[in-house]
Structures are given as structure tokens and as C-alpha cells.
Amino acid sequence: MAERASNPLVEFRRINVDGTLNLARQAATAGVRRFVFVSSIKVNGEGTSASRSFTNADAPAPQDPYGISKMEAEQGLRDIAAQTGMEVVIVRPPLVYGPGVKANFAAMMRAVQRGIPLPLASVTTNRRSFVALDNLVDLLITCIDHPAAANQTFLVSDGEDLSTAGLLCRLGNAMNKPARLFAVQPSLLQLGANLLGKGDMAQRLLGNLQVDIGHTRNTLNWTPPISVDEGLRRAVVGLVP
């Protein structure tokens, strides 16, 4: 999130597009039958309304350099598949959490662990999709050789979407520590964040980002093997205070 490159899109393209497509071309030349690509839900966009979820059939609408680069990589992979006959499978995860998770998710974990009061008790109506590392890996393994996965795009999540307050409480349960939340209206939180230049961060805490994994479930007969609570329990093991 703390972008330091003078031209982030150029840097993201260098790795996410050029690096990916170079590897895919070599794989096709070597006779690899199927290429599984971990993309990002950012290809769909940055958030959803309260009444709908992202689906695999949505038109791409990336809004930042990272999302744009992932979209371009997907497009390039489809071209290579058409030219070479190599099968391509695209998986778009939302935020992935597990042992060693970084950024905002790690910050929330540390806040709960340290008993820091957070003004998020009223953030109960938003919903966000997450995916535990174990669930993502299980889907990727499924995509390696499942006959129905060829040339498909799959969204993935834990299958249970959480509000921000709900996530913090569940993290507290995983740590056997109560999440210390107090109530401030979300509109005031967003206003304060905007004034401090942290509007995007507030949106990730206050807004919605839901993914519909119905296509994934139905096409692959796949179900996330571990629950949200088990995923959170595994994520907090070994957390350094």
C-alpha cells in the first residue's frame, strides 16, 4: 500500500505482466498442459455495493496500478492460451490471511492482541470477503488437474463474509482476548479519515467488498475446507506482540 515507485504501473507491469507472460510462454514451449495464475479481486474493482457481490462474469474495472497490471496479465495469458493450446486457469482472491500476514490485517491483529481500544463497534453492516491461506491453496491444488477448470476464471473466499466489527471480535476469540471496541458512527470515521488523507484506508475498514463463489463451488464441486474461525486461529499462532 505504501507505494514508493515514481511510476507504479511501470513497475507492476514489469513483474505482474512481463514476468508472468514470459513464464507462460516458456511453459507452453516446454509442453506444460495447464498454467494456474493467481490474479486479484482488484481486477473486478475496489468495492461492492450492499446489494451485490463481484462475480467471475463481471467486466473488469481495476482502479489502481496493481489491479490494472493483473488485468493485463490475465488478458495476455488468454492470448497465449489461444495461440498455443495451453490451458489457463485464473484465480482472483480477495485479501489472503494466514501466518505472517502483513499490512492492515496484521495491524488489526496486533491492536486486538495489545488490547488497544478501536472506534469500530458501529461498523456492523458492511461485509467483506476474505480467504484463509489454506483455503486458497486447496483451490489452487484443485485447479491443477480438475477437468472443468480449464480456461476458467474463479473467485475464491472463505464462504462467509464479515463486518469489520465482526472480524475484530472473531480475531479476539481466536486469541482468547476480547476485542476492545467503542462506537463512533461510520460517517464520522470516514470524514475524519478524509481530513487526515486516509480516506482509502477508511474505505477498506468501512466499505463492502464481497465475492460470489457460486461459480467456483458449482464448476469444481469445491467447498472451502476450513472455516473462518479456524483460519483466524491459524493466522494468530505465533503472533509476536
Catalytic sites, residue numbers: 66
- Give the closest residue to 21 by CA, choosing from 81, 85, 67: 81
Can you state the angle between helices 103-113 and 228-236, rounded to 10 degrees? Answer: 80
Contacting residues for 56 by C-beta, under 8 A, at least 6 apart:
92, 152, 153, 154, 155, 215, 216
Count of alpha carbons within 13 angstroms of residue 238, beta-carbon side: 6
Contacting residues for 143 by C-beta, under 8 A, at least 6 apart:
34, 36, 89, 91, 149, 154, 220
Helix (H, G, I), strand (E, B) or coil at 32: coil
| Cell triple for 167 | 472480524
End-to-end CA distance of the chain: 23
Does an H or E element contain 87, and which? Answer: strand 87-92
